Amino acid sequence: MNSSLAGFLQALALVGALALSYRPLGDYIAHTLTSRKHLRIERGIFKLIGVDGDAEQTWGAYLRSVLAFSFVSVLFLYGFQRLQEHLWLSLGFPAVTPAMAWNTAASFVTNTNWQSYSGESTMGHLVQMGGLAVQNFLSAAVGIAVVAALIRGFTRNKTDHLGNFWVDLTRITLRVLLPISFVFALVLVAGGVVENLHAAQIVHTLSGATQSIPGGPVASQEVIKQLGTNGGGFYNANSAHPFENPNPFTNLLAIYLMLVISFALCRTFGKMVGSHKQGYTILSVMGLYWIASASLITFFEHQHSGIAAQIAGAAMEGKEVRFGIPGSSLFAASTTLTSTGAVNSMHDSFTPLGGGTAILNMMFGEIAPGGTGSGLYGILILAVVTVFVAGLMVGRTPEYLGKKLGAREMKFASLYILTTPAIVLCGTGLAMSLKAGHGGGMNNTGPHGFSEVLYAFTSAANNNGSAFGGITVTSTHWETALGLAMLFGRFLPMVFVLALAGSLAKQAPVPESTGTLRTNTPLFVGMLSGVILIVVGLTYFPALALGPLAEGLH
């Protein structure tokens, strides 16, 4: 069997597995978000934290809870890293420097998991599992909670109530993320991922040199890193490291885990709004972009353009033999389209157009299928914009899922769309102009060096977390700038999403008429796909032209 056919079958197996879990998982999450009954352990938790599990919040209260929780999380994680030398299992590592600890705290709380540190030489086991991995669970749950509030905005009428953030957060973590993680962590260990509390073990190699074999509770962190679309590797090489991702099976499982919740949330959405077709429409757009992107990256990497790759005979720089081109490309497409940002191959060494596609994937705003929760709210905002654009053409007040989209709603949607590009483009522009502080971190020269900077800001603002890893981002300038990009890129859009949800929930439903644009048809799939490409994609075209396109079309 040749490599391309095997790669195709691998993608097919992945699609099959995702299709099988779509309905049960989506329905289960919908049940989790709508059930009136609390589990006993949940009642206990609500009592301990002093929350009435049956009380509902307005959009403002919901938002304040999100922000308060995240603020406390950043402080806590910052302190955790700064104190690590005094803690159990520190492995003798000193306290993380202030700039790096700030950047890492912002990174893990925003579900970005950008890593300016190198795991195996910076973080002790306790900080990894008790600090970083905890945010892997919670930041993922926050994303799902926010999209739950947005969906309730569509389904509820004439109310201020959008649910309760504390209840949503607790339930998603306890009922969805923890059980799935537990099962697949054991599967990963069986497959060869390490899970222990050892410090590095020194061995004498076959040739008599010494090698230090690292330890760590890796599998338990690895699984939620993918499932929660986080992406922060236990080790520096992330999922390319054989202890995180030892074989082709664990590789496919990793890709499956990073996609499964975000795709299944379309089912959750369909179920909650009472029309599975609405869910399938969104799913189709996500699926189209995902398939197109995976095919493109695989194609470009197989083509291996570029001087060095031509000499080598294949674009194997930065790729592992066990994954090859197909396993690396499928992973790269999925990780940049889901806001995961884990890497099993080094994107910096991809072909110019292959790496460029990875950047473009993130620029679409992480919506195909995107991060847990954030992917769905991102694409729903774009659906709102699409309905609005279509409404303009026929001169009617647009409506989506029975709610009118007036000036107020469109303002929030527009602000959402503008936030991330503003952060990415201003951040990149500033970095390039302040050469001493920022552009100085580039590993490559020319257009490829520019791509490294563009990638960094795109990744941070879209909360992806992968990198063109050659760039050096440990200066205080970079740590601060990217930390801010991550925080603004995460929480400003959430403000607009929740404000929109509040304004939708207040409305009375509009009965469907003959003039209503039907949003559950192939036509709408095409329109939404087009709007994503034009509104979002074209925003970045000039920047892409300076980097990957300039290099790739050279």
Q: Which is nearer to another protein, 128 or 503 (CB)?
A: 128
Contact (Cβ atoms closer than 8 angstroms) between residue 329 and residue 254 = no
The DSSP result for 165-227, as a single string, is: HHHHHHHIIIIIIHHHHHHHHHHHHHHT--------EEEE-TTS-EEEE----HHHHHHHHHH
List C-alpha distances in Å: 454 to 60, 103, 255, 426, 547. 34, 18, 25, 10, 8
Q: Least distance (Å) from another protein to the CB of residue 540?
A: 20
User: SS3 sequence, 515-544?
Assistant: CCCCCCCHHHHHHHHHHHHHHHHHHHHHHH
Q: Which is nearer to another protein, 82 or 411 (CB)?
A: 82
Q: Which is nearer to another protein, 216 or 391 (CB)?
A: 216
Examine residue 205 and tell whether it contacts another protein (CB under 8 A): yes
Q: Which is nearer to another protein, 31 or 554 (CB)?
A: 554
Q: Which is nearer to another protein, 267 or 304 (CB)?
A: 304
Stretch of 246-254, 411-419, 487-495, 496-504 contacting another protein, by CB under 8 A = 246-254
Site string for another protein, 522-551 (x = CB under 8 A): -----------------------------x
Q: Which is nearer to another protein, 155 or 305 (CB)?
A: 305
Q: Least distance (Å) from another protein to the CB of residue 128?
A: 9
467 alpha-carbon distance from chain centroid: 13
Give the pair of three-digit tokens for residue 543. Answer: 């920047």
Q: How many residues bind another protein (CB under 8 A)?
A: 122
274 alpha-carbon distance from chain centroid: 27
**Packing angle, helices 248-273 and 324-337, rounded to 10:** 30
Q: Least distance (Å) from another protein to the CB of residue 370?
A: 23
Q: Which is nearer to another protein, 235 or 290 (CB)?
A: 235
Residue 328 amino acid letter: S
Q: Which is nearer to another protein, 51 or 535 (CB)?
A: 51
Q: Which of 53, 191, 429, 437 binds another protein (CB under 8 A)?
A: 191
Site string for another protein, 206-235 (x = CB under 8 A): xxxx-xxxxx-x-xxx--x----------x
Examine residue 492 and tell whether it contacts another protein (CB under 8 A): no
Contact (Cβ atoms closer than 8 angstroms) between residue 150 and residue 501 = yes
Integer Cα distance of 89 and 125 in angstroms: 5
Examine residue 181 and tell whether it contacts another protein (CB under 8 A): yes
Q: Which is nearer to another protein, 207 or 514 (CB)?
A: 207
Which uninterrupted H or E stretch holds 486? Answer: helix 476-506
Integer Cα distance of 342 and 356 in angstroms: 17
| Angle at alpha carbon of residue 397, lines to 394 and 399, rounded to 5° | 105
Site for another protein in 101-120 (CB under 8 A): 118, 120
Examine residue 252 and tell whether it contacts another protein (CB under 8 A): yes
Stretch of 18-26, 205-213, 394-402, 531-539 contacting another protein, by CB under 8 A = 205-213
CB contact set of 81 (below 8 Å; sequence gap of 6+): 95, 96, 100, 101, 104, 105, 123, 127, 131
Which uninterrupted H or E stretch holds 23? Answer: helix 3-34
Integer Cα distance of 458 and 489 in angstroms: 10
Site for another protein in 56-95 (CB under 8 A): 64-65, 68-69, 71-73, 76
Q: Which of 34, 247, 475, 480 binds another protein (CB under 8 A)?
A: 247
Q: Which is nearer to another protein, 307 or 394 (CB)?
A: 307
R_g (Cα) of the chain, nearest Å:
23
Q: Which is nearer to another protein, 270 or 502 (CB)?
A: 502
Site for another protein in 360-419 (CB under 8 A): none
Q: Which of 84, 107, 139, 173 binds another protein (CB under 8 A)?
A: 173
Site for another protein in 290-329 (CB under 8 A): 304-309, 311-324, 327-328
Q: Which of 15, 99, 199, 200 binds another protein (CB under 8 A)?
A: 200
The DSSP result for 409-461, as a single string, is: HHHHHHHHHHHHHHHHHHHHHHHHH-TTTTGGG-SS-HHHHHHHHHHHHHHHH
Stretch of 196-204, 433-441, 485-493, 495-503 contacting another protein, by CB under 8 A = 196-204
Q: Least distance (Å) from another protein to the CB of residue 353?
A: 10
Q: Which of 156, 171, 175, 241 binds another protein (CB under 8 A)?
A: 241
Stretch of 17-25, 127-135, 508-516, 530-538 contacting another protein, by CB under 8 A = 127-135
Q: Which of 189, 238, 194, 218 is nearest to 128 (CA)?
A: 218
Site for another protein in 423-452 (CB under 8 A): 443-444, 446, 448
Give the pair of three-digit tokens for residue 536. Answer: 């979002």
Q: Three-state DSSP class for 403?
A: strand
Q: Least distance (Å) from another protein to the CB of residue 163?
A: 16
Stretch of 23-31, 190-198, 424-432, 538-546 contacting another protein, by CB under 8 A = 190-198
List C-alpha distances in Å: 314 to 303, 351, 404. 8, 10, 53
Q: Least distance (Å) from another protein to the CB of residue 484?
A: 21
The DSSP result for 42-79, as a single string, is: HHHHHHHHT--TT----HHHHHHHHHHHHHHHHHHHHH
Examine residue 242 and tell whether it contacts another protein (CB under 8 A): yes
Site for another protein in 30-49 (CB under 8 A): 45, 48-49
